[in-house]
Chain A
Amino acid sequence: MAAAGGKTYSFKVVLLGEGCVGKTSLVLRYCENKFNDKHITTLQASFLTKKLNITGKRVNLAIWDTAGQERFHALGPIYYRDSNGAILVYDVTDEDSFQKVKNWVKELRKMLGNEICLCIVGNKIDLDKERHVSVEEAEGYAESVGAKHYHTSAKLNKGIEELFLDLCKRMMETAQAEERSRGNGASHTSTARRGVQIVDDEPQTGIPAGGCCTSA
């Protein structure tokens, strides 16, 4: 429940991004402070939680890790539906994975509107020597779509706490703003409140290949 005082916020966060960019590693590092380079390919979404205390307010995070390959999203948007935040991960050594992030931004904005807090995360900065996505490009892009950009390394445990903490603060702000806009009425759950927005006008051309769940 998103409410003031001693109440607790519950947020749903989903990790999305190309296969093998380190989504599972980020979650495992954050929730269990583990790094294992021997985990298997993620084939179905898995779920972990984390409890935080931010400026005296309790926050429960439900974090969904997803399968990376595009075709796995053909079954529908069940994992990112009702998400308060999305972490879009790319691998700094892989230009393609950054392009996939762009597709995800379009998809999420279309399906969830502007209420979802977006983070774009360049992971594997321990491999900075092999970097193929420039910092300026990534940060510039993030700014242009209203997302925050972070650099992380799940291996070296860099930038991950900050990423989730920032995201939580932003989600709290969003929740509080929403609460205010609803007046002082009864509190409401921060999840399960939005319907899917019907977007009237699809972009006319250049629909990102595969960015959408209907792609063949």
Chain B
Amino acid sequence: QIIPGLIYTSSRRPVYVHSANPVRPLQHPSTSPHHCLSFLVLDSSVMSSPSSSPEREGGMAGSVQLEDLNSPPGLETDPRFVGSPVLSPDSSSHDAALSAPAASPADSENLSPDELELLAKLEEQNRLLEADSKSMRSMSGSRRNSGSSLVSSSSASSNLSHLEEDTWILWGRIVNEWDEWRRKKDKLLKELIRKGIPHHFRAIVWQLLCNATDMPVKNQYSELLKMSSPCEKLIRRDIARTYPEHDFFKGQDSLGQEVLFNVMKAYSLVDREVGYCQGSAFIVGLLLMQMPEEEAFCVFVRLMQEYRLRELFKPSMAELGLCIYQFEHLLQEQLPELNVHFRSQSFHTSMYASSWFLTLFLTFLPLPIATRIFDIFMYEGLEIIFRVGIAILQYNQTDLIQLDMEGMSQHFQKVIPHQFDSCPDKLVLRAYQVKYNPKRMKKLEKEYTTIKNKEMEEQIEIKRLRTENRLLKQRIETLEKHICLYDWNNVPEVLQVKVNPDTLYRQCSLACGMWKHRCASGLRIRSGGIFHILSCNSVHFKIQWDSFDS
């Protein structure tokens, strides 16, 4: 079981990576004398763009190198590896990272003083890294037209609190004892995720959360890339328009654009019905900032299958309609005044909330906050999107109510996205104060389905009527041609028609056509029955056949 995508970092200095991912292939675990340390250096000089953001580099630097190593299948997750650090003194030694096995805490107790000192240094470096990622979080991500871009952060502080160190150790333990946590400490895990998964753990935790660590489809990935997809043109059009301000995705033929295209293409091949839908590339893009393309592909497949995203992105986009419907009702129930105001301004829910659902706030909020929401989404699903959405509206209610359509539109684009830049926790906290009743949501879903089914039936009925109308028109034309053959000066008073069940309808029609000019109300025929001409005009007619026999 391979759970790759471990720890990624930035900066030009040698980087010490905590072995949050001891499940990475480690060879000869029992034979190596140096159990506790292995090396991995990620130097930004290997990256395409040295000024790229820490978060981005973090994601890909690790992934690329790890992929290049073409490593053998890894070991089972082993709780013994908790907290063992991974160190690299120089960038040429990354092979060592995978060949040097990790060690158990018990082993590390038997270390030489030198080794202990080294270990302490590592811990210190880890703290710096964590500080790096913390400082990242306070910066805004790339936004539409904002002109802002991520700037490389070098503000690592050497004074890191014990709390953060504890967080680090704790998450290391969670990852290693994953199954146990899910079984026994799920509530605590949920709480921790709401507080935010530490940046360096996201890749692995996201994979674990959606159960994407061992998917057969992963083996198809390289084959899929060799195939061509009917969606390629569609996908390519959007590649440069996905996180265009983000260093990783900047520039034609950048690595980011290439892997994004690959994953989108591969997905469009395994799910022909969905193919490619605009919006989904932002989700994949976020995954690619954290993990290698194959892993990102697997996680995306899981998200599509298990997190309602597939329904969201299907050609009918039915799920989006449902989400909007449900959201509208939450709004109506919880913020009735705002709802009335929106209605009075014809500000439809889908005008501001569609992208919230389609990209899980990734195109609405700066990346650091949107990634926090994504953490929670990975555990709790779309519920968090409803919660955050309502929380945002709640927070802005007084402002919005005073604005007209244009003002609101501007407020949504320019003001709201940056309201929580300095305090993502506030938004998360507010989101959890929002009332959300799953039963109510289920009920709304049923309502919506009923409405939609009814609409669909009506559509089908309309279609059917149109077809019938068309056929009738054709028949009239044919009949009128036939009528011309009759001698209109010699139409009998009583039309005698020999009824042949096969041609009954046609004969009725003929009779009707002949008699319509005489306004006959009925006509007698030999076989023992009467045609009642119920109505008759040049467009259509109705005839009723009453048999004497019955």
Contacts and interface: CB of A to CB of B under 8 A. Distances in A.
Contacts of B320: 75
Which of B278, B315, B358, B459 has most chain A Cβ within 10 Å? B278
A22 to B, nearest CB: 11
B234 A19 contact: yes
Nearest to A91: B237
A71 interface: yes
B466 A40 contact: no
A72 B243 CA distance: 20
A36 B145 contact: yes
B351 A44 contact: yes
Contacts of A44: 350-352, 354-355, 358
A75 B323 CA distance: 12
A40 B144 contact: yes
A40 B354 contact: no
A214 B459 contact: yes
B350 A41 contact: no
Contacts of A216: 315-316
B241 A47 contact: no
A74 interface: yes
A11 B234 CA distance: 32
A14 B230 CA distance: 29
Contacts of A204: 470
Contacts of A99: none
Interface in A170-214: 201-202, 204, 214
B359 A43 contact: yes
A68 interface: yes
Nearest to A60: B406
A69 interface: yes
Interface residues of B, number: 41
A129 interface: no
Contact of A41 (B279, B316, B324, B348): B279
B237 A19 contact: yes
Contacts of B243: 40
B55 interface: no
B413 to A, nearest CB: 7
A20 B238 CA distance: 7
Interface in B219-250: 233-234, 237-238, 241-245
Interface string A49-72: 100000000000010000111111
B414 to A, nearest CB: 12
A43 B405 contact: no
A46 interface: yes
Contact of B358 (A38, A43, A62): A43
Interface string B312-352: 00111110110010000000000000000000000010111
Contacts of A71: 277, 314-317
B470 A72 contact: no
A69 B234 contact: yes
Given A47-B409, A74-B316, A67 B278 contact: yes
A43 B315 CA distance: 14
Contact of A69 (B245, B277, B363): B277
Interface in A11-58: 19-20, 28, 34, 36-41, 43-49
A196 to B, nearest CB: 14
A67 B406 CA distance: 18
Contact of A72 (B242, B317, B348, B406): B317
Contacts of B352: 44
B370 interface: no
A61 B276 CA distance: 34
B321 A41 contact: no
A51 to B, nearest CB: 11
Interface in A74-102: 74-75, 78, 96
A71 B345 CA distance: 26
Contacts of A47: 351, 405-406, 409
Nearest to B473: A201
Contacts of A36: 145
Contacts of B279: 41, 43
19 contacts: A19-B234, A19-B278, A38-B245, A40-B243, A41-B278, A41-B279, A43-B354, A43-B363, A44-B350, A44-B355, A44-B358, A48-B409, A69-B234, A71-B317, A72-B317, A75-B320, A78-B351, A96-B233, A202-B466
Interface of B: 144-145, 233-234, 237-238, 241-245, 277-279, 281-282, 314-318, 320-321, 324, 348, 350-352, 354-355, 358-359, 363, 405-406, 409, 413, 459, 466, 469-470
Of all A-B residue pairs in the complex, the 3 with the closest CB atoms, nearest first, are: A38-B244, A44-B354, A20-B237
